[in-house]
Amino acid sequence: MHPFPVRRSASMVATLAVAIGIGCSPCAEAQSSTEPGMFQLYIGGGGGASPMTLDSRDYSATGNFVTQIIGTTHTITQDETFAGSYKGFVGLRFLKYFGIEAGVGHLGTVGFTAEGVGGSGGGAYAFTDRGDYSANMTYVAALLTLPTGSDGGYFHVKGGTAQVKVDVTETFTQEFLLSGLTVESVFTTSSKVTRPLIGLGYTTSVGSGKQLRVELEHLGEIGKPYMFGTQDGTGRASVTMLTVAYILAF
C-alpha cells in the first residue's frame, strides 16, 4: 500500500548496517588479537618465588661421607626460606575453553648447613656439611580456561606431569677432635623423579597480542628419600611456585 516508505526504510537499514560494520571493524580486530577463535598459539616466560622446604628427616651423615657410628647426632638448618624461580613455556589454546602447554623451569636453589658430632675417645669427630639443593623441571599440562570477557582475560586450572631433576652439591668438613686433623671433601648428587603438576592462574590482556599471567603451581615433594651423597637419591623438598609471566599470543 505504501511502497515509498518501505523502500526508504530498507535503504536506511542498509546504510546503518554498513556504518556499524565499518565502525566496529577495529573492535573486531582488537578482539581477534586477544581471544582465540579455533586456535591461539602463545609463548611466554617469567619468574617469581618458590618456598622450597627441605625435609631434614632425610639427612644422614653416611653414604659417601663417613661410616655411621652409633651416637652420631646432627642438626640441619636451611639458609633460605624462599628461592627464586623462573620458567618459559609454549602453548596452544583452542575453542576458548581448553589448552595444552609445555615448558621448562627452574624451581629454585636453597642452601643448607648440617652440623654434628659422633664417635668417642680418639675417634671423636665433629662435622660440618654445607651445600646447595637445586631443582629444575620440564612439564606438559592441559588447561581448562574460563574467559572473563571480550578483553581476552581468562582464569585457568592446570593439570599435568613434570620431570624434576634435583642436584645437590656439598662440601663436607670432618674434624677429628683429639688429633685436630681436618678432612674436607666435595660431593655432587643428582636424581630425577616424575611428579604430578597442578596449578591455577589468571591471564589478562595488556595490549594487542600481549598478556600477563599470574600463576600458582604445586608439585608437592620432589627428590627421593635419603639425602646428600647416598646412592638412594638426593632428599625430599616440598615445592610450590608463584610466578608472573609475560605472554605473546598469536
Query: What pairs with residue 101 in β-bridges?
Result: 91, 141
Q: What is the pLDDT of residues 14-30, one digit of tens each?
A: 443 333 343 433 433 33
- pLDDT tens string 165-223: 988 888 888 898 888 899 898 888 888 889 999 999 999 999 888 999 999 999 988 87
Closest by CA position to 60, among listed 190, 231, 206, 243: 231
The CATH code of domain 36-249 reads 2.40.160.20
Query: Would you list the domain boundaries of the chain?
Result: 1-34, 36-249
- Give the list of residues 6+ apart from residue 4 with CB closer than 8 angstroms, or none: none
| 69 grid coordinates | 657410628
Rounded to two decimals, what is the model's pTM? Answer: 0.73
- Cα distances from 148 to residues 145, 204, 239, in angstroms, run 10, 9, 30
Q: Which residue has the cell 623441571?
A: 137
Rounded to whole angstroms, the Cα distance separating 105 from 83 reads 13
